[in-house]
Chains A and B, each alone.
Chain A
Amino acid sequence: MSDFVPTPNPEQPEDPFLLKGRVALVVGAGDPLGRAAAVSLAEAGADVAVASLRAGPQEVVRVNSVANEIWSLGRGNTAITLDATDENSVDSAIARTISELGRLDILVNAADLPVAAPIDELSPDDWHAILAANLLAPALTSRAAARVMKMNGYGRIVNLVSVLAARGVANTSAYAAAHAGVLAMSRSLSQEWARSGITVNVLQVGIYEGQRGFGDNPESVQQVARMLPAKQLVQPNDVGPAVVAMAADSGFITGETIAVDGAATARV
């Protein structure tokens, strides 16, 4: 274990949520939560690199449009076509972020690939694909980002997972297992990098508006909303500021999971 212990600022900062001068990479920025995270980070002053999850053509178009939003907020930006399940593609995305925006302080893994089917219908290949996008991808991006963050003695990694990581819902075995895997991985990495100035935290997001399959059709939205204390799905725009709060934290919060779910998991 290295002996590096970051020193907290002795002075109480007046603007603790400003991210001016910080550079973030958001993976999965073509999805609603990734877009919300990228925009909120830019609004807080960060420059933001936005990357896709699987480099699909439609996804890349959406990522480019998010980069335009960051540009219109007056922040530095770059759009990266990334297959986050591929080691080399991930390494070049990190290099690209640093060459375009100068540094890397914040990594947000917002990649989300929901799949729901009875386990009898999931082939081993399906499992591999679901685990690759939802679990291997954040592992590869975190690893590559941390190599840079360790040299700087500073890093903030925020992983977004689904509420299904903590609660069982029929037909979501592989997807839920992958997201629960991100929870456990984040706790482990928070310890592995505890003395490197890198925090690793998780936002556990309830079923959200626009979520593929769950929150993008009226029938499903109505069914899910009925079960929630707030009687409505999580709004992606409420997830963005939570990402900012974790990204701007002074470093004493790590290995922690915060539910952004409108009290869904607080109830029996």
Chain B
Amino acid sequence: MATPDRFRLDGQVVLLTGAGRGLGRAMAMSFADAGAKVSGASRTLSQLEETAELVTERGGEAISISTDVTDAAAVEAMVQQTIDHFGRVDVLINNAGGGAEGDGSPLTDLTDEQWRWGIDMNLTSQMLCARAVLPHMAERGSGVIINVASGFGLRGGRDNWMYVSAKAGVVNLTRSLAVTYGPAGVRTNCIAPGIFPHTPQALERWRGGRYIPIGRAGVAWEMGPLAVFLSSDAAAGISGETIAQDGGGLAAIGPTGWAPRIRLTEPT
């Protein structure tokens, strides 16, 4: 019994930003399992090389590219280096990003520089990577882009400014990319992860709590299969879409466990 062909990515090349740790590293493993070659990019080369080693241990192939996703020239070079090595890019995963200094502060304390950096790192970076890779994909008439947003891209948070704004921007950037480049054969989708703790201890702390409806946080590897599915021909009908992977959080309102009972009554 083998995985159905439409879910496989044999021989395809995946350019994955933020591949040095966490969700990016986990996605790299899943892509290797699906038969894809991985071009991992991030700021810290040593972390990327660890990811590449793990990919190789699973029987995959990976290269590591040190880059700065907020720098247009560095991003162009990252795409070119991937094409030079593997000959093509089939899938771009815009995964790099993260919390920025200033989020969590009162709005009146926020500096202009903090705002610009937060937006640059979490939104502009995804535009730069898409812009650099799209001519190549459009020319070949096929390609997939997956942008990583967040549950915070779909709802607001107290004293959360750049992250929510940038991630909401990613959701709508996804739609415009899908509509614009769909006719050229490029599908674009977005994943909105919920809470994925970095350590087993942190994972354990979420167990049985009321904040996440299913009563646990995500394990990094759980995002891999979703990314592989969206990258594969199995998702041929899906484009412009944002998929939340958050234990039921966005479907809910307020803390878990509110289960009212109100009886149906006769008219009074």
Binding site for B on A (CB under 8 A): 1, 3, 5-18, 20, 40, 43-45, 187, 190-192, 194-195, 199, 206, 229-231, 234-235, 238-239, 241-242, 244-245, 248-256, 258-263, 265-267
Contact = CB atoms under 8 A, between A and B. Distances in A.
Contacts of A17: 3-4, 7, 225, 229, 234
B257 interface: yes
What 4 A-B pairs come out closest when comparing CB atoms? A255-B251, A266-B240, A238-B237, A241-B234
Nearest to A245: B229
Contacts of B256: 1, 191, 194
Nearest to A229: B182
B19 to A, nearest CB: 15
Interface in B134-158: none
Contact of B238 (A14, A256, A259): A259
B228 A16 contact: yes
B243 A258 contact: yes
Given A195-B215, A248-B225, A253 B240 contact: no
Q: Which of A20, A195, A254 has the most CB of B within 10 A?
A: A254
Contacts of B4: 17, 40, 43-44, 241, 244
B77 interface: no
Chain B's interface size range is 35 or more
A5 B234 CA distance: 30
B1 A18 contact: yes
A191 B248 contact: yes
B246 interface: yes
Nearest to B225: A16
Contacts of B178: 229, 263, 266
Interface in B226-241: 226, 228-229, 233-241
A49 to B, nearest CB: 19
A232 B234 CA distance: 17
B253 to A, nearest CB: 9
B224 A256 contact: no
Given A229-B178, A241-B6, A263-B241, 7 more contacts: A12-B33, A12-B221, A18-B3, A245-B235, A252-B245, A253-B243, A263-B182
Contacts of A253: 226, 243-246
A107 B193 CA distance: 25
B237 A262 contact: yes
B259 interface: yes
B104 interface: no
B216 interface: yes
Nearest to B221: A12
A187 B251 contact: yes
Interface stretch (B42-50, B89-97, B206-214): B206-214
B224 A16 contact: yes
A181 B231 CA distance: 31
A10 B221 CA distance: 9
A18 B225 CA distance: 11
B29 A12 contact: yes
Contact of A258 (B219, B238, B252): B238
Contacts of A45: 1
B222 interface: yes
Interface in B159-197: 174-175, 178-179, 182-183, 194
A253 B227 CA distance: 13
A7 to B, nearest CB: 8
Given A17-B7, A263-B179, A266-B175, A255 B213 contact: yes
Given A5-B207, A17-B3, A255-B250, A244 B234 contact: yes
